Amino acid sequence: MELERYLIYIVVCLVPTLFFYSTRKKHLPLPPGPKGLPIVGNWFQLPINLPWETYTKWSEEYGEIVHVKDFARNVIILNSWKSAYTLLEKRSSIYSGRPQYVMFHELLGFGRTTPSLPYGDTWRKHRKLYNQQMHKGAISQFGSLQYEAIHELLRNLLDSPLDLAQHVIHMSASIVVGFTYGYKLQAKNDPLLKAISGNSELFIQASRPGAFLVDNLPILKYVPAWFPGANFKRIAAAARERGDHSRDMTFKQVKLQLALGNALPSFVGRSLVELGKDLDDESDEDIDAIKRVAGGIFGAGTPTTAITVLSFILAVAVYPDCMKKAQAEIDLVVGSSRLPELGDRAALPYLGAMLKEVLRWFPVVPTALPHATTADDVYEGYRIPAGSVIIPNSWKILHDPESYADPYTFRPERFIPEENGGTSERDPTIGSFGYGRRICSGKNLAEATVWLTMATLLSAFRWTNPVDRTGKTIDRIRATQPAPGGSAWYCTFSFSNRKTNTHHKNASSRPQDFTVQFIPRSKKLEAIINQSGS
Ligand code: HEM
């Protein structure tokens, strides 16, 4: 009898409690944010250009996490390290999706590249391929590719310093394309480069929330391409064709070289050999994954690496003391009778700190790529529904004075431990390379390339006084102000010889256009640079 009463008591108390907790989430408020309109929500307020600036303004009014509506879609912006770290890193099991957009995923055909895949088995397969070919040991085997491209950069900078940006982009593309396909890029008008760079700009532009109306009104995808106003359909058809063509062309090239036995080491070649399957079965899922991972590397890796190098060149030009400190360290370890090598990295701590500072001071992907939630969640009393788009405001997080003293000053010492005279500020890797399970999968290659370029340039040259196209000096303040227009656009722009391009507003950042004069640090080094190509 006693037992029965206990059981009844437990059922009476427990069931409502469980019910309360299971429905509680649904009754909590969404995070605060600007008021929107019926149906479209905040669509008209979603920023197109330099979006992190608007997100930062919203955070001043509404707090560290802000909610807006992109039609029916909930968009949550994370403006603090605490919220980004707690949600995207610690709760990454439910924050690692990607929002799916009709234009981006379906019409443009980008839906099967690594950055845009939903969280699931195909994405895991892609990341496994990256891990196999891009762990630190595997990357080190591509050292000669990096030396060749970076030494060519030195010679190009001496020959035509005014084409600084083009030379840096060429260096970055040579490494990325060499790594992916074992392909040697021609100095000018390379046909493969033309084929694979065609969609870079659209990729970033279309991944931004609210970029195309069809994303929120999917019915528009049935509008025929000839219909007035259906320009997006024509853009999409051309992009899909370009994508299919470039993927097939590059893949077939490597397959042929493998068959002939003259393939240079590459991501595609190694992955295919390790797979050990019939390479002609292109319907095979594993082969398709290799093709698609490779197809995404150029767009993800070239502009990001190039712009990080350009930011470095600008940073040390306006902070000559940092340049001198790094050069003193290099002179001590490397000397002046050779150029730096990847093996010198551990012995150059100031340069390591400088790499971190470049990534923090001028983050090239200031709002990462949007993540998406795969389950309902609660944060600090706010409801975050499943399927929400999550945008980390990395620009703000990496310039937060609470984490980084005097955040717009370029100061590598912030990443030197206190016991060695630095200030031990928080490592910016999480943030500049993204978050949680979706963190940049090319990080090891990117860091090695940027580090080696920094070391080699500092060892070979000195440079100061950056000027813009009109000859006006760029000072420290202007150096931190991103140019309007994005990085992927920048590469397309440069590759296509400045053909007009109207879709130049997107969510990536690049410094102002600038040039500097590179002066060899000694006759001996000048001779080493000139000999490096022979
Ligand atoms: C300095 C250079 C680079 C920077 C600053 C950078 C930064 C980023 C950022 C911020 C993300 C978004 C992460 C997120 O959504 O949380 C990302 C994703 C990605 N990056 Fe990079 N990246 C760089 C170079 C590269 C290179 C060289 C490659 C390829 C070799 C690459 C491949 C990718 C891929 C595939 C993704 C998507 C990962 C996924 O969705 O799982 N990146 N990168």
Q: Which amino acid is at 493?
A: F
User: Quick one: pLDDT at residue 401?
Assistant: 97
Residue in the structure block whose two tokens are 């260096």: 171
Using the predicted structure, report yes or no on whether residue 340 has a pLDDT greater than 90.
Answer: yes
Using the predicted structure, report yes or no on whether residue 280 has a pLDDT greater than 90.
Answer: no
428 C-beta closer than 6 A to ligand 1: no
296 C-beta closer than 6 A to ligand 1: yes
Average pLDDT over residues 488-517: 54
Using the predicted structure, report yes or no on whether residue 411 has a pLDDT greater than 80.
Answer: yes
User: Quick one: pLDDT at residue 471?
Assistant: 92
Q: What percent of the chain has pLDDT over 90?
A: 64
CA of 399 relative to ligand 1 center, distance in Å: 20
368 C-beta closer than 6 A to ligand 1: yes
Q: Which ligand 1 atom is the nearest neighbour of the CA of 113?
A: 35
Q: Tokens for 488?
A: 């992927």
- Encode pLDDT of 74-131 as tens digits: 999 999 999 999 999 999 999 999 998 888 888 888 888 899 899 999 999 999 999 9
CA of 382 relative to ligand 1 center, distance in Å: 30
**Cβ–Cβ under 8 Å, residues 376 and 384:** yes
Across the chain, mean pLDDT equals 88
User: Quick one: pLDDT at residue 493?
Assistant: 36
Which string of DSSP letters, residue by residue, matches 309-350?
HHHHHHHHHH-HHHHHHHHHHHHHHT-SSS---GGGGGG-HH
Higher pLDDT, 216 or 150: 150
The distance from CA 379 to its chain's CA centroid, rounded to whole angstroms, is: 27
CA of 293 relative to ligand 1 center, distance in Å: 12
H-assigned helices in 35-163: 51-62, 81-84, 121-134, 136-140, 143-159
Beta bridge partners of 391: 77
Average pLDDT over residues 484-507: 39
CA of 228 relative to ligand 1 center, distance in Å: 37
So what's the ipTM on this one? 0.99
304 C-beta closer than 6 A to ligand 1: yes
139 C-beta closer than 6 A to ligand 1: no
440 C-beta closer than 6 A to ligand 1: yes
User: Quick one: pLDDT at residue 489?
Assistant: 40
158 C-beta closer than 6 A to ligand 1: no
Q: Is 491 annotated as a binding residue?
A: no
How many CB atoms neighbour CB 344 within 10 A?
18
Higher pLDDT, 363 or 26: 363
Residue whose CA is at the smallest distance from ligand 1 atom 41: 438
User: Quick one: pLDDT at residue 477?
Assistant: 96
Q: Tokens for 419?
A: 């016991």
**Cβ–Cβ under 8 Å, residues 332 and 457:** no
**Cβ–Cβ under 8 Å, residues 283 and 141:** no
Average pLDDT over residues 408-435: 97
Burial of 330: CB neighbours in 10 Å, binned 0-12, 13-18, 19+: buried
Residue whose CA is at the smallest distance from ligand 1 atom 20: 440
Burial of 280: CB neighbours in 10 Å, binned 0-12, 13-18, 19+: exposed
- Encode pLDDT of 178-193 as tens digits: 999 999 998 888 888 8
Residue whose CA is at the smallest distance from ligand 1 atom 27: 301
- Encode pLDDT of 366-378 as tens digits: 999 999 999 999 9
CA of 435 relative to ligand 1 center, distance in Å: 10
For residue 106, the 8-state DSSP code is: I
Residue whose CA is at the smallest distance from ligand 1 atom 43: 440
351 C-beta closer than 6 A to ligand 1: no
Higher pLDDT, 298 or 489: 298
Using the predicted structure, report yes or no on whether residue 35 has a pLDDT greater than 60.
Answer: yes
Higher pLDDT, 271 or 213: 271
Using the predicted structure, report yes or no on whether residue 303 has a pLDDT greater than 70.
Answer: yes
Average pLDDT over residues 39-45: 93
Using the predicted structure, report yes or no on whether residue 313 has a pLDDT greater than 70.
Answer: yes
User: Quick one: pLDDT at residue 503?
Assistant: 30
User: Quick one: pLDDT at residue 6?
Assistant: 59
- Tell me the residue length of the chain: 534
Using the predicted structure, report yes or no on whether residue 172 has a pLDDT greater than 90.
Answer: yes
How many CB atoms neighbour CB 390 within 10 A?
26
User: Quick one: pLDDT at residue 532?
Assistant: 80
CA of 130 relative to ligand 1 center, distance in Å: 11
441 C-beta closer than 6 A to ligand 1: yes
Closest CA to 32 of 63, 75, 74, 70: 63
What residues contact residue 247 under an 8 Å CB cut-off, 6+ apart? 291, 292, 294, 295
Q: Which ligand 1 atom is the nearest neighbour of the CA of 363?
A: 5
439 C-beta closer than 6 A to ligand 1: yes
Using the predicted structure, report yes or no on whether residue 243 has a pLDDT greater than 90.
Answer: no
- Encode pLDDT of 377-404 as tens digits: 999 999 999 999 999 999 999 999 999 9
CA of 177 relative to ligand 1 center, distance in Å: 16
CA of 40 relative to ligand 1 center, distance in Å: 31
User: Quick one: pLDDT at residue 511?
Assistant: 92
Closest CA to 114 of 330, 272, 290, 336: 290
User: Quick one: pLDDT at residue 283?
Assistant: 75
Using pLDDT thresholds of 50, 70 and 90, give the confidence band for residue 424. very high
Q: What percent of the chain has pLDDT over 70?
A: 88
d(CA 431, CA 204): 18
Sorted by where each starts, the structural domains of the chain and their CATH numbers stand as: 2-531 (1.10.630.10)
User: Quick one: pLDDT at residue 205?
Assistant: 67
**Strand (E) or helix (H) holding 287:** helix 285-318
Using the predicted structure, report yes or no on whether residue 443 has a pLDDT greater than 50.
Answer: yes
